[in-house]
Structure 1
Amino acid sequence: MSTGDETEKKVVATKRKAWTYEPPKAPPFDDFLSGGDRRKAFLRYWLHENIDNAVDLLLYFAFMLLPASVCSDLGGWLGRILAPRFHKDAYARAAANLKMIRPELSDAELGSLLKAYADSQGRQMAEYSVVPRLARRHVRKIGTEDLVERCSEGPVIFIAPHISNWEVLWHCLLDMGLDVTMNYDPPKRRSRHYIVNRLRKGAGLGILKPGRSFVRPALRILEDGGNLLMFCDEGFGGHIRAPFFGRPAHLEGNYAVIARMARKSNALIYPLYLVREKGASFLLRAVTPLRLPEAEGTEGHAIDDVAHLNAVIEPMVRSYPDQWYFVDHRL
C-alpha cells in the first residue's frame, strides 16, 4: 500500500466551511395551481421523484425475503448490467480514477477492476435489505481481539473509508456490544434517506445531525468516554475531497474535524476497514490505534494532523479502489 508521503509534502491551510443541513421542503398544492416553474417543482417532488422512491422501497422490502448471499449476488448482477448502460458518465469517471489510482495495471487488469466496481456498487445497494445477517454470519475479523477493552479505557474515534459495505462495518461494532454514534451525509433521494434511517436507528446506532450542528454533541460523547465512528473519505458536491491522492492537504473535510475533536478530548483514533473478499463474504480489519503526535498548539499543527490521517486512510482506498464508493466522483 502507498505510504502517502507524497501527500504530506504538499499542504494548503484552508479552513473548513461550516454548513447546516436543511431537509427538502414539500411543495404545497398552491405551487401546482401557480403553474410555471413552481408547478414543475411540485410535480417533480410529488410525482416523478415518488416513482423512484416507490421502486427503491419495493426492492428494499422484497430483497429482505431473499437469503443474504442471493440478495448480494442479485445486486452485483444488476450493477454489472446497469452501470455501463445507464450511468455512462459515472462509469467513465470511475475508469479514469481507477487508472489514476493504479497506473501500473494493464488495460485488461483495469477492465477487470471496472467490472468489479460496477459489481460492488450494485451489491452495496441491494445489501441494505440484509445488513444484520451479513454482519453476523458473513464477516471474519482480524485485529479486533482487544478492541472492546481499548474502548473501555476512554473515548474512541473510529475512522474508516467507504469500502465495500460500510453499513456492515458499523453493525459489526454494535454486535461487539459497543455503543457507537455516527454522523452522516443524508442521501438526496427521500426513499433512501428513509431506508438508511430505518436500518441504523433500528439497530441501535446513534445518529447525529449532519453539518455544523453535530460537532458539540459529538464532543460531549467523547468527553463522556463514548465512541464515535467517522468516515474520512468524502465525495462532496460530486467531487472527491478525500483522500488527497497527491493533491494539497486542506482543512475542509472530516480529517480536520476528527483531528480537532481528538485533541480536545484526548480520544484514541482507531482505524478500521471492511473489504469484500468474495461475493457476500467480508473481512473486517482493525488497524493499530493511534494518538496524534504531541503539539504545543492545535491550529499550528492542523495540516500536519490532516496529512497524518490521510496517510492512514489513503492506502486503504488505493488497495481496494474497485470497492470504493466515491471512485466515480470527480477529482
Structure 2
Amino acid sequence: MMMMTMPVEMGNGTTVQEFTLEGFPAIQHLGKVLFLVHLLAYLASITGNAVIVTIICADSRLQTPMYFFLSIFSFFECCFISAVIPKLLVIFLLGRQTISFLACFIQAFVFVYLGAAGFLLIAVMSVDRYMAICKPLHYPTIMNLKTCFLLVTACFTLAFTLITSLVVKVSQLSFCGPHVIPHFFCDLGALIHLSCSDTRSVEMLVFVLALLILLTSLIITVIAYSNIVVTIVRLPSAKERQKAFSTCSSHLIVLSMIYGSCVFIYVKPKQTNKLDSNREAALVNTVVTPLLNPVIYTLRNKQVHQALRETMCRMKISR
C-alpha cells in the first residue's frame, strides 16, 4: 500500500499520519499459527474462485448468463478478500499494525465498494434465475450477452457512485486521536468512531446507504425466489422440480451467509456499538464466505462439477 510522506492536516489543526490496526489482541501471541491458517485460507479462496472463472471461460457449455454472473461474482470474491487479508497476514507475521491515512481510506473504499457491488450483483443473479425458471420462453431473448454486460456495468457504476460519496465524506472528518482502530482492517464504522467531529450525519448516511443497498438486494432476491418456489412447486414431475431447485440451492446457501454477516455489521443506526463483535462477523464475511463459495458452487452444481472433472482429465492426458 502507498505510504504517506507528508502529514495530513485535519480540520482542527492536529496531524494524523497513520492509524494502528488492533487486529485480534486476545490471540496475538498465536501470530505465526494464525498467519499460516489465514494464508492457507486466502490461497484456497483465491485458487477456488480462480478455477471457477477459468472453467466457465474455457467450457463452451457454461457460456450462459447464469455462469457469466457466477464468474463475475467469483472474480469479485478474489478482489474482495485481497483488499483485507494481505494486511492481516502482515499483522500476524510481522506485527506491523500501522497503516497510513491514505492507505487506510483506500482499503476502506475498495472493501465497501466491492461489497456493495457484490450485493447488487447478487440481486441481478436472483433476477436471472427468476427469468430462467419462471419465464423460460422469454429468457433467451431478454437475458442476452448485451443485457448481462449492461447489468454488471450498472452494478459497478451505482456502487461506485454511492460509496465514493460516502468515503469522501468520512475522509473529511477530523481525527484528533486516539488513532487505534479496533478492527483488523480499515472499516468505515471504526473510522467514524475515531473521529472527533460531529459524526451524527455521517453515521446516518452510512446507515441509510447500508440499508438501501442491503434491503434493495434482499427485497429483489426474496421476490425473485418466492416466485421461483411457486413455479417449482407447480412443476408436474419430481425430477423437474429437483433439477430446477438444484440450480438455485447453491445461490441460496451463499446468500444466507453473506446477508447474515453484513446485516449484523452494518445495519445499525449507531456505528460505535459492538465494534469488538463486528470483528468476528467481518472475519466470516471476508475469509469464510469467499473460501466456501467455490466449494458450494462446485460440489452442488453438476455442470461445474462435470466441467472441472473433464478439465482435470484433459490435463492428465496432455501430460
- When normalised by structure 1's length, the TM-score is 0.24
Structure having the higher helix fraction is 2
Which TM-score applies when normalising by structure 2? 0.24
Which structure has the highest strand share of the two? 1
Structure with max Cα Rg? 2
